[in-house]
Amino acid sequence: MKLKIAILAGDGIGPEVTEATQKVLRDAKVEIDWEVHHAGLEVVKLTGNPLPPSVVEAVRKNRIALKGPVTTPIGKGFRSVNVTLRQTLDLYANVRPIRSLPNVELRFDVDMVIVRENTEGLYAGLELMIMPGVAQSIKLTTEVASTNIAEFAFRYAAQNGRKRVTIVHKANIMKISDGLALDCARRVGEKHKEIELREMIVDAAAMTMVRDPNRLGVLVTENLYGDILSDLGAGLVGGLGIVPGANIGDSCAVFEAVHGSAPDIAGKGFANPTALIQSAVMMLRHLGENVAAQNIETALTDVYREGNVRTRDLAGTASTDDFAAAISRKLAS
For ligand ATP, the binding residues (CB under 6 A) are: 13, 17, 240-241, 259-262, 264-265, 271-272, 275, 313
Candidate list 23, 170, 225, 330, residue with the active-site label: 170
Question: Cβ 162 to ligand ATP, closest distance in Å?
Answer: 27
Alpha helices in the chain (DSSP H): 14-27, 41-47, 53-62, 81-88, 143-159, 177-190, 202-211, 223-236, 274-286, 290-306, 320-332
Of the pair 310, 330, the CB lying nearest ligand ATP is at 310
Give CA–CA dist 325/315, Å, rounded.
18
Give CA–CA dist 299/171, Å, rounded.
43
Active site residue 123: yes
Question: Cβ 241 to ligand ATP, closest distance in Å?
Answer: 3
Query: Is the sign of the CA dihedral 311, 253, 224, 69 positive or negative?
Result: positive
Of the pair 185, 258, the CB lying nearest ligand ATP is at 258
Q: In what order do the strands lie in the sheet with 3-8?
A: 32-37, 3-8, 64-67, 253-256, 246-248, 93-99, 111-117, 218-221, 164-169, 196-201
Question: Cβ 249 to ligand ATP, closest distance in Å?
Answer: 21
Active site residue 170: yes
Candidate list 11, 27, 227, 313, residue with the active-site label: 227
Question: Cβ 263 to ligand ATP, closest distance in Å?
Answer: 7
Of the pair 105, 190, the CB lying nearest ligand ATP is at 105
Candidate list 33, 109, 203, 250, residue with the active-site label: 203
Backbone angles phi, psi at 126, to 5 degrees: -100, 85
Of the pair 177, 247, the CB lying nearest ligand ATP is at 247
Candidate list 123, 156, 225, 304, residue with the active-site label: 123
Query: Catalytic residue numbers?
Result: 123, 170, 203, 227
